[in-house]
Amino acid sequence: MNPHSSIRRPRVVTRPSPPTLYFFEVWEDKLGNLCARDGQLPYDRVEDWLKLEGTYKTDANDSIDLAQSMILRLIACDFDQHPFAIGCGLPTFNQIQEAFHLNENSVEAIINNNGAFGRFYERSPGSSATDLFSLVFKVGNSINIGYDAMSMTYNMKRRTTRAFLHGFLDHDSQSLIEYLKTCKDKLRFESPFLLPCRIYRKHRAKSEAYRVSIDDNLQRAEVEIGYAIPGVLDGTADPISLLRSGNIEFERINRRLTSCSTELCTVLHTGAFGKELGIFLRNTAQELGSKLYSPDNDGLSHNQTLVQEIEFTTNLYSSLLSQASNLRTRVENHIQLGHSLVAQEENRISRFVAEESARIAAATKGDSAAMKAISLVTMIFLPPTFVATFFSMSMFNWEPQGQDPGLVSKYLWIYWAVTIPLTVIVVVCWRLWMIKENRGFNTLPKRQEDEKSDRVSVADANHITPTAILMAEYSEAQKQQVRPYWRRRA
Amino acid in the structure at residue 275: K
In a domain, 362, yes or no: no
Same domain flag for 185 and 216: no
Note the pLDDT tens digit of each residue in 327-349.
Answer: 898 888 888 877 787 788 788 88
Triad 232, 236, 238: Cα angle to 5°: 135
What is the reported pTM?
0.68
Higher pLDDT: 435 or 454? It is 435
d(CA 192, CA 135): 9
Write the DSSP string, 381-447.
HHHHHHHHHHHTSTTB-SS--TT---SB-TTHHHHHHHHHHHHHHHHHHHHHHHHHHHHHHHHHHHH
- Give the residue among 198, 185, 123 at the shortest CA–CA distance from 156: 123
Q: Are residues 104 and 37 in the same domain?
A: yes
Highest average pLDDT, of 18-27, 237-246, 361-370, 447-456, comes from 18-27
User: How high is the pLDDT of residue 448?
Assistant: 63
Higher pLDDT, 99 or 441: 99
Domain assignment of residue 92, yes or no: yes
As a whole number, mean pLDDT of residues 477-484 equals 47
Is the C-alpha dihedral spanning 166, 172, 174, 177 positive or negative? negative
Is residue 318 domain-shared with residue 443, that is, in the same domain? Answer: no
Residue 151, pLDDT > 90, answer yes
In this prediction, residues 417-426 reach a mean pLDDT of 86
Instruction: Please say which residue of 347, 365, 394 terminates a domain.
Output: 347
Boundary residue ending a domain (294, 320, 347): 347
Is a pLDDT exceeding 70 seen at residue 422? yes
Q: Which residues contact 270 (CB under 8 A, 6 or more apart)?
A: 139, 140, 141, 142, 145, 207
DSSP sequence for 18-76: PPPEEEEEEEE-TTS-EEEEEEEE-GGGHHHHHHT-GGG--GGGGTS-HHHH-SEEEEE
Instruction: Determine, yes or no, domain membership for 385.
Output: no
Of 347, 375, 397, the domain-final residue: 347
For the chain, the average pLDDT equals 79
Same domain, 299 and 329: yes
Candidate from 117-121, 317-321, 374-378, 447-451 with smallest mean pLDDT: 447-451
Residues 247 and 293 in one domain: yes
Note the pLDDT of residue 406.
67
138 and 261 part of one domain: no
Q: What separation in angstroms does the CA of 172 have from each of 78, 134, 169, 386, 456?
A: 9, 23, 5, 105, 48
In a shared domain, residues 218 and 186: no
Report whether 267 contacts 214 (CB < 8 A). yes
Provide the pLDDT for residue 6. Answer: 42
Among 29, 286, 24, 343, which residue's Cα sits nearest to residue 163? 24
365: burial class by Cβ within 10 Å (0-12, 13-18, 19+)?
A: exposed
pLDDT at position 487 over 50? no
* Closest C-alpha among 257, 270, 255 to residue 323: 270
How many C-beta atoms lie closer than 10 Å to residue 411's C-beta? Answer: 9
C-alpha dist (Å) from residue 470 to 202, 340, 361, 456, 483: 51, 16, 21, 10, 22
Q: Based on the domain organization, do 27 and 172 belong to the same domain?
A: yes
In a domain, 406, yes or no: no
Give CA torsion, residues 333, 336, 338, 343, to 10 deg.
-150
Higher pLDDT, 240 or 77: 77
The one-letter amino acid at 19: P
Kindly give the interhelix angle for 466-480 and 412-462, rounded to the nearest 10 degrees.
170
Look up the domain containing 289 and give its range: 210-347
Whether the per-residue pLDDT at 463 is higher than 80: the answer is no
Instruction: Write down the pLDDT at residue 319.
Output: 93
Q: What's the CA gap between 74 and 163, in Å, rounded?
A: 5
Q: What is the pLDDT at residue 461?
A: 46
Would residue 353 count as lying in a domain?
A: no
Q: What percent of the chain shows pLDDT beyond 70?
A: 78
Give per-residue pLDDT as tens, 171-229. Answer: 888 999 999 998 888 888 988 999 999 999 999 999 999 999 988 888 888 777 776 66
Beta strands in 123-214 (DSSP E): 132-138, 149-155, 160-166
Report the pLDDT value the prediction gives residue 484, as an integer from 0 to 100: 41
DSSP at 249:
-
Q: What is the pLDDT of residues 436-459, one digit of tens each?
A: 888 876 776 666 666 666 554 544
Using CA atoms, how far residue 9 sits from 12, 33, 141, 146, 151, in Å, is: 9, 45, 15, 12, 28
Distance CA 475, CA 478 (A): 5
Residue 9 lies in a domain: no
Q: For 469-487, what is the mean pLDDT?
A: 48
pLDDT of res. 250: 72
d(CA 38, CA 174): 10
Number of structural domains (the chain) is: 3
Same structural domain for residues 58 and 181? Answer: yes
- Rounded mean pLDDT, 299-324: 90
Residue 354 falls inside a structural domain: no
Asked whether 71 and 161 are in contact (CB, 8 A), the reply is yes
Residue 356 has pLDDT above 70, yes or no: yes
172 shares its domain with 228: no
In a domain, 378, yes or no: no
Do 300 and 251 reside in the same domain of the chain? yes
| Range with the poorest average pLDDT among 59-68, 83-92, 93-102, 454-463 | 454-463
Asked if residue 163 has pLDDT above 60, the reply is yes
Whether residues 93 and 220 fall in one domain = no
Residue 376 pLDDT: 85
